[in-house]
Structures are given as C-alpha cells and as structure tokens.
C-alpha cells in the first residue's frame, strides 16, 4: 500500500455563471496528500477551499484534470471509500437521532458490528454522551458540528476532510474539540485536511495550504495568513 492517498493533477473546476459565462473556481491545482498528513487549508472566502475539499473527497468532479485516490482502497461506485467528511453547513439527517446519525455510515456500509458501542464511546469522547437520543433540531450549531465529526470518524477514515469544523464553536471548546479529533486520528495513519479561518487550528497542523482566487499554494508559507 502506497503512502500517497490522493493525487490531483491540473485540476480545474468551472461553474456556469449566467447564461453564457463561466466562473472558474479552481485553476490548474496540483497536490498530493500522504497518509498521516495534517494539512490546514486556508484562504479568503470564495477562494475555492470548499470546492477543493469536495473534489478531494470525490463529491464533485473536476471540469479538467484528474484526481486519483491510490491509497484509499476500492471505489464505492461513486467515490472512494474511507473518506470522512465534515461539512460547513448543518449536515445531520433531521429525522434520525444523534446516535442514529452517527451510526448511519456504518449501517450504510453494512459494518454495524460493534458500531453502536464505538459510536457511544466517540460521543462520550466529544462530550456528547447525553445527547444520543436527541434530534438534530434540538442541538446547537456547535453540537451538531461535533456530532458530524463523530459520524465522520466512526468508520476510521483514511482521509478526513473537514470544512470549517470549529466555525460555530467558542475558542476554548474549539481547542478541546480539535484535541479530541487529533487524538482519535493519532496512530491511525489517517490524513486530515481542515479548511479553516481559525489561526489556532491552522497553527496546530503540520502543513498549510493556501487558496487564493482558485490557485493552490502548497509550498511552505512564510507570510501572514490571508
């Protein structure tokens, strides 16, 4: 098994803009993510961070270029398996309880063996133990985002992509939350890519990538974070 999980070559993503125009969100992006990587993806709003995460997670297809996932096992019809995703917007299934939401990926994957106890342990670890029976609409934004993270971690992803995971948390909770995430990934070989505006979160990652007007800068950054 190779150490490289994802390879993106000359990736370009365009969206239709108006009747005839196009909006180029990503321009010739090249990158690779190795196992165990800790990457902070920063950049101004609208620079293309979320689009890049979607592409890296297989949720979207590039207009030009290619993305391969050599280290993430077989494709599951549409996208690579073993990718965990935490979205910026609320993403819990509204008709399921917190525990059912967390167990859902395991149920869908047919891997419900011990998923229940693992889910309960993870919820406890993230300070959500008392919320297992609640519905998403009964949670605060921050609680919902932490539940989404637990859901993403349940099956032990090879690559975890998180889009502003601390956006709705106060700084102390964010700190604790991020500690727990890193603890969970420790020793698993999983790579973590976090799109964030939070400097404290970004500072704890080994690598920082910067997006600006659709361009990705993966070289070590020396200046002030945009």
Residues lying near other proteins in the complex (CB under 8 A) are found at: 50-51, 54, 57, 59-61, 76-78, 81, 85, 87, 89-97, 100, 103-105, 107-110, 135, 137, 151-152, 155
Please, what is the minimum distance in Å from the beta carbon of residue 1 to other proteins? 21
CA distance 217 to 21: 26
In the bound state with other proteins, the residue whose beta carbon lies nearer, of 5 and 208, is: 5
> 89 near 99, Cβ under 8 Å?
no
In the bound state with other proteins, the residue whose beta carbon lies nearer, of 110 and 187, is: 110
CA distance 10 to 224: 27
In the bound state with other proteins, the residue whose beta carbon lies nearer, of 5 and 144, is: 144
CA distances from 134 to 38, 181, 206 (A): 32, 22, 36
Please, what is the minimum distance in Å from the beta carbon of residue 188 to other proteins? 18
Please, what is the minimum distance in Å from the beta carbon of residue 31 to other proteins? 18
Please, what is the minimum distance in Å from the beta carbon of residue 53 to other proteins? 9
């Amino acid at each position: 098994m190779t150490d490289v999980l994802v390879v993106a070559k000359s990736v370009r993503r365009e969206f239709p803009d108006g009747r005839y125009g196009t909006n180029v969100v990503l321009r010739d992006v090249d990158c690779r993510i190795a196992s165990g990587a800790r990457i902070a993806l920063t950049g101004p709003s609208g620079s293309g961070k979320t689009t890049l995460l979607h592409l890296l997670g297989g949720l979207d297809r590039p207009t030009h270029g290619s993305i391969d996932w050599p280290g993430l096992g077989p494709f599951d019809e549409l996208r690579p398996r073993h990718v965990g995703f935490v979205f910026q917007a609320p993403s819990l299934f509204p008709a399921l309880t917190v525990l059912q939401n967390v167990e859902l990926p395991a149920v869908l994957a047919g891997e419900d063996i011990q998923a229940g106890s693992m889910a309960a342990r993870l919820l406890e670890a993230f300070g959500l133990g008392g919320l297992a029976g609640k519905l998403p609409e009964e949670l605060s934004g921050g609680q919902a985002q932490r539940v989404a993270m637990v859901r993403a971690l349940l099956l032990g992803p090879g690559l975890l992509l998180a889009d502003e995971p601390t956006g709705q948390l106060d700084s102390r909770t964010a700190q604790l939350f991020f500690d727990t995430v890193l603890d969970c990934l420790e020793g698993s070989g999983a790579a973590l890519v976090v799109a964030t505006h939070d400097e404290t979160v970004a500072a704890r990652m080994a690598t920082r990538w910067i997006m600006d007007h659709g361009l990705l800068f993966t070289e070590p950054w020396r200046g002030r974070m945009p």
